[in-house]
Amino acid sequence: MTRSLLAALFFIPPAAAAPPDPTLTIEARAFRPGEVILVTVSGHDAKAPPDASMKGRALDFFPGASTGTWLALIGLDLEFSTGPATLSAVMRAPGGKAVRASETFDVMDAGFPVVELKVDQKFVTPEKNDAERAEAESARLQKLFSVSDEKRLFDGRFDSPIPGAATARFGERRVFNGQPRAPHSGMDLKARSGLPVRAPAGGKVLLSDRLFFAGKTIIIDHGLGLMTQYAHLSRSLVKPGDLVKKGRIIGEVGATGRVTGPHLHWALKFRGARVDPYSLVFLDLDAKLTARPDDPLRRSALCGRVDGPEPAWSKPSRGLRARARAAKAAYAPGEGISFLIEIQNLGWKPAFIDFVRDAAMRPLVLGIGEEPRPYDALASSRTAAGPLTEQIKIKRGGTLCFEQGRSSAGPLLARETTSYALSYGTERLYLSTSAARAGLWRGRIAIPPATVIVSTAARAH
């Protein structure tokens, strides 16, 4: 028997490395009544969802873009009790190993204010016929809100249906003509009559009708228990059964129903819980539900465009330079602005940069009209560091390109300001979970101001 044959007979292959345990993370704009919480389980068996519950109520998970990633939402009703709350989960690795995990967080007092309003007395003490009508409409809405499509009808993150400042905030305790009423379960956004209202995400129209208190109203089912309401419209452009895509114009702002002036009442319910719709806008669902691009350096379809003059690059900072431009040639007053940001590596070696995935959290490193914010300033999100950032490799001569339409104060809106100073800095960002790589960039880049053209002529486009 030859030596090679002996070796073959007695060769024992090394045991395969066990897959890492699944991980559980939670994130939210804040942990208080009226907020939506996003639960992410990564590294789980792709064939069946995890088992999880909070306060005796089971979570319904749906698959994310990455294999083995499962997502679930929790709605903290505006009257949710304060104090500690624990989420418990049983997860399974691809090999079948069961892993138990829990997350405990404190639900803080929301501090909802009391607001006194003056309206037509018929909306405070309606006549018998109006009172019976309002009661029947309330029962009808309760029935509509109780059944949602089991499928996910939205593709990614939710946007605001209109640009506008809040005139009445979620959770306010209302007093109409001296008489207390139910708390305000939506957001009132000031806007002129006739302003187009757009669907914040894909869904199916459940209701398009005129109601006693809410005036002309639309309700959209986005699936999985998520439903949005649009009230006091002057005009509805959809009918029940219509399937709408994100961005479609569904109606126009008005002043119908119980109002003090033109505005949009925008409300969100998740499985019966009344929550602030902007708590859902805060969540970067695109990062969870959209497959990563083939080129990890290109995060926007606008990357590589050549229309218009080329903006100036910044001075290099530790091998990196950056520039910014408005994503559109011109914006209508009040329209949402988006900037295209490019960061280029001029060094001799690849550079790794911490990229904040969530556009709402990106002011940690990207300042628009202000300096980047330190992490503590935006620490209302209780989440493991990993999902917030990823280390992106920028090869020598390569350029990272992404869009940003938010500052730390919220969505950027076209106003009188025509140029914005920008800066990108990671000196104070220490969120990476992996070991520091050779070439991990820490520094700050002062980006030349980006010009934004604001014109009423842009309304036609």
How far, in Å, CA of 225 to CA of 336, rounded? 28
One domain for residues 269 and 389? no
Residue 12 lies in a domain: no
Residue 257 lies in a domain: yes
One domain for residues 155 and 296? no
Give pLDDT < 50 ranges for the chain: 1-16, 377-387, 432-435, 460-461
Total structural domains within the chain: 3
Residues 6 or more apart whose CB falls under 8 angstroms from that of 138 comprise none
Residue 356 lies in a domain: yes
Could you tell me the CATH number of the domain that includes residue 245?
2.70.70.10
Given this model, what pLDDT does residue 379 score?
42
3-state DSSP assignment of residue 108: coil
One domain for residues 320 and 456? yes
One domain for residues 123 and 248? yes
One domain for residues 306 and 436? yes
Enter the DSSP assignment of 285: H
Q: Do 242 and 209 meet the contact criterion of CB atoms below 8 Å apart?
A: no
One domain for residues 367 and 439? yes
One domain for residues 370 and 450? yes
81 lies in which domain range? 23-107
Given this model, what pLDDT does residue 397 score?
92
> pTM value?
0.64
Given this model, what pLDDT does residue 387 score?
44
One domain for residues 317 and 250? no
Beta strands in 276-405 (DSSP E): 320-326, 339-345, 351-356, 366-368, 389-394, 399-404
Given this model, what pLDDT does residue 386 score?
41
Tens-digit pLDDT profile for residues 84-120: 999 999 999 887 889 999 999 999 987 776 665 555 6
Residue 14 lies in a domain: no
Residue 261 lies in a domain: yes
One domain for residues 103 and 118? no
Residue 1 lies in a domain: no
Residue 10 lies in a domain: no
3-state DSSP assignment of residue 278: helix
Residue 102 lies in a domain: yes
One domain for residues 238 and 127? yes
Given this model, what pLDDT does residue 226 score?
96
One domain for residues 270 and 304? no
One domain for residues 444 and 316? yes
